[in-house]
Structures are given as structure tokens and as C-alpha cells.
A and B are shown apart, each in its own frame.
Chain A
Amino acid sequence: MHLTVSYTAVILLAAALFVIGLYGVLVRKSAIGILMSLELMSMAVMINLITFGRFVHQSPLNSWFFTVFLMVIVAAEVGIGLALVIAIYRNDRTSEVDDLDRLKG
């Protein structure tokens, strides 16, 4: 017995991961929580790329390249984001985005 699933199921799984990340971005108050939710969303995008490369395209090579370069970009984004969180914490003694309302007027 060798049960298999179609690529549609994997795409739906990635979509669920993406919307869970979106929910986290909307409801989290701490900036680190928002960054973690953004990472969930980027992981969903990478699952999509690998799935299409594996099941739809003839050769998965291009999906591998896209995923590796996306990982580089996400690593840079998280590094900058966390550095900004630390800088904001050093200035304002808070890492909650609701407290950063100086531009509100």
C-alpha cells in the first residue's frame, strides 16, 4: 500500500500556513511576534515554490534556485528587523508596536 497525495493538498497546506501568519501579523503586539509571523508567511511561499517545482514543472531545478535566494533575502530581512527592534528598544524601552505612535500627531 502506497498512499499518495496530490499537489493540491500541499498548496492548501501552504495557504493555511500563510493565512495563519497573516493572522499573527494582525493580532501580535510585540514586534518580535510580528517578525515570527512574517517568517511563517515566507515559509509558506517556499513550500509553494518547491511544490510547483516538484509536481508541475519538468525539472525542480529552478524552484530550488528561487527557494535558496528567497532564504537569503528572508535571512537578511530578519537580521535587519531584529536589529531595528533592538534599536527601538534601546530608545523607547518598549518593543510593542502600539507604543510607537510618535507620527500620529
Chain B
Amino acid sequence: MLNAIAFVILGCAIILGAFSVVTVRNVMHAAYWLLEVAVAVAGLYYFMSAEYIAIMQLLIYVGAVGMLVIFTVMITQRSQVDNERPGVFSLFAFIASGLLFAAIAYGVIKSPSLVASAPQAPMSLLTFGQQLFSTNGWVLAFEIASLLLTVALVAAVWWTKDRDN
């Protein structure tokens, strides 16, 4: 199972960081808080013995996506400060989000326990790689993912191209 002390520390880091992401008015500071949340989530993966996913999280979210967001903030934000919505709308959004959380929590707590009885088989990266590239495994999804990334790259370049000249 999951170490309780690590879970409490990482959980507080995730929740407080996420709350800062959505409430901090300076968009650049929100991007930094997003990096903090991504690192804390990677730590959570590590403590759930998904070390490979933790490393992928650090590489993709902190390394690639975070830097992309920060560059876009630097390019497009003139005032750095996000305007506030009227308080009534924020209150409405807060109530709607709270109701959704209450519904999810009710469902999770009321549902029967799903924990597997048998002990976990040790997870090896070797099996992961072999399954990923085997023809009766996930190789088709892998190829489709690479095609998706290529299409997204071309589309991003096309959209950001300067068409004035």
C-alpha cells in the first residue's frame, strides 16, 4: 500500500498547488505552480511503484509542457495579470465544482471495495517494453500515437506561422 506520510505531504502539495494555479492572478506564477503540481504528482506515482510513469511525468509535463506554457505566456501576455470574473460567477463555479466533488466522493465511499486479494506481481520495465512493441500488444496504438504527434506538430507550426508576408 501507499506510505501515509508521503501521501499526506504530496497530497497537500498537489491540492494547494492546484488551488494556486486556478486562483493566482499572475499567469506566470500560475505556470510555476503548475510545474510544482506536476512534480508532486510524479512523486505520487513514485510512491505507487510506477517509477517509469513518474519519470515520464517529469519529462513530459515539467520538461516539455511546462516550458511550452511559460513560453506562450511570455509571448502573448501583455499585462501578466489575469482579469477577475464577477464574484457571483466565481461563486456559482465554486458551488458547481463542490457539488461535483460531493457526488464523486459519495460514489467512491459508497461503492464496494475493489482491492485485489492476490499480491501484486512485481512490475518490470522489460515486460512493459516487450508488450509495447509486440504485434499482439500495443504496437498499433504506438504507431497511431506517433502519427498523432506528427500531425499535431505540423498543425502547430502551420497555426503559428506568420501569414502577413
Contacts and interface: CB of A to CB of B under 8 A. Distances in A.
Interface of A: 2-13, 15-24, 26-30, 32-33, 35-37, 39-40, 43, 46-47, 50-61, 63-65, 67-69, 71-80, 82-87, 89-90, 95-96
Given A40-B21, A55-B115, A86-B160, A11 B90 contact: no
A4 B3 contact: yes
Interface residues of B: mostly helix, strand, loop or mixed?
helix
Q: DSSP class of A's interface residues: helix, strand, loop or mixed?
A: helix
30 contacts: A4-B2, A4-B4, A8-B109, A9-B11, A12-B108, A13-B7, A13-B14, A16-B15, A17-B37, A21-B22, A22-B97, A23-B22, A27-B89, A27-B90, A32-B69, A36-B31, A37-B22, A43-B61, A50-B45, A52-B114, A54-B120, A60-B49, A60-B123, A61-B123, A64-B53, A72-B145, A72-B149, A80-B152, A80-B156, A86-B75
B153 A58 contact: no
Contacts of B2: 4-5, 7, 9-10
A84 B159 contact: yes
Q: Nearest 10 pairs between A and B by C-beta?
A: A24-B22, A4-B1, A3-B4, A76-B152, A26-B93, A83-B156, A83-B159, A23-B97, A15-B104, A89-B76
Interface residues of B, number: 82
